[in-house]
Amino acid sequence: DTGVSQDPRHKITKRGQNVTFRCDPISEHNRLYWYRQTLGQGPEFLTYFQNEAQLEKSRLLSDRFSAERPKGSFSTLEIQRTEQGDSAMYLCASSSPRTVSTDTQYFGPGTRLTVL
C-alpha cells in the first residue's frame, strides 16, 4: 500500500438517499482528514481524526454529515438524505507529522458524488 485509497470512486444517487464513502489512509498515518471540493474551489475542510478520536467536527456541513474512524485505521463519511447541493468531490487525506508544523497531508483519489 503506497497511498491513500477511497471507495467508491464515483457514486450516483437519487435525492433523499443515504450514501457512505470509505477512506483507507497510508499505513501508520495517525491523522485522517475529510474535505469536500466543488468546481473551481479549493478543498473545504470537513472533519479530522487523530487515531480513532474525531478532534474536529464543527465544520461538517450539516447534521446530515457524519464520519467515523472506529479502530483508528479506515474511516467512513456518511451523508444522509442527500440533496443536489451535496454533489461534489469528497477527498480524504492522511498524515503522520513528526511535528505539527510539518503535517503534510497526502490525498486519495477522491469520490465523485452526483445527486440526481
Partner 1 sequence: QKEVEQNSGPLSVPEGAIASLNCTYSDRGSQSFFWYRQYSGKSPELIMSIYSNGDKEDGRFTAQLNKASQYVSLLIRDSQPSDSATYLCAVSMDSNYQLIWGAGTKLIIKP
d(CA 95, CA 92): 11
Return the range that interacts with partner 1 (CB under 8 A); candidates 11-19, 37-45, 68-76, 80-88: 37-45
**Residue whose C-alpha cell reads 447534521 in the numeric block:** 63
Give the nearest distance from C-beta 22 to partner 1 in angstroms: 15
- Told to check if 74 binds partner 1 by CB under 8 A, we report no
Q: With respect to partner 1, which residue has the nearer C-beta, 41 or 84?
A: 41
- Told to check if 91 binds partner 1 by CB under 8 A, we report yes
- Told to check if 104 binds partner 1 by CB under 8 A, we report yes
- Taking phi over 0 as left and psi of -120 to 50 as alpha, with beta for the rest, 28 belongs to left
d(CA 103, CA 116): 37
For residue 15, give the DSSP letter: T
Give the nearest distance from C-beta 113 to partner 1 in angstroms: 14
Count of CB atoms situated within 10 Å of the CB of 29: 16
Q: With respect to partner 1, which residue has the nearer C-beta, 54 or 73?
A: 54
H/E element, 29: none
- Told to check if 105 binds partner 1 by CB under 8 A, we report yes
Interface residues with partner 1 (CB under 8 A)?
Answer: 31, 33, 40-45, 48, 55-56, 89, 91, 100-110, 112
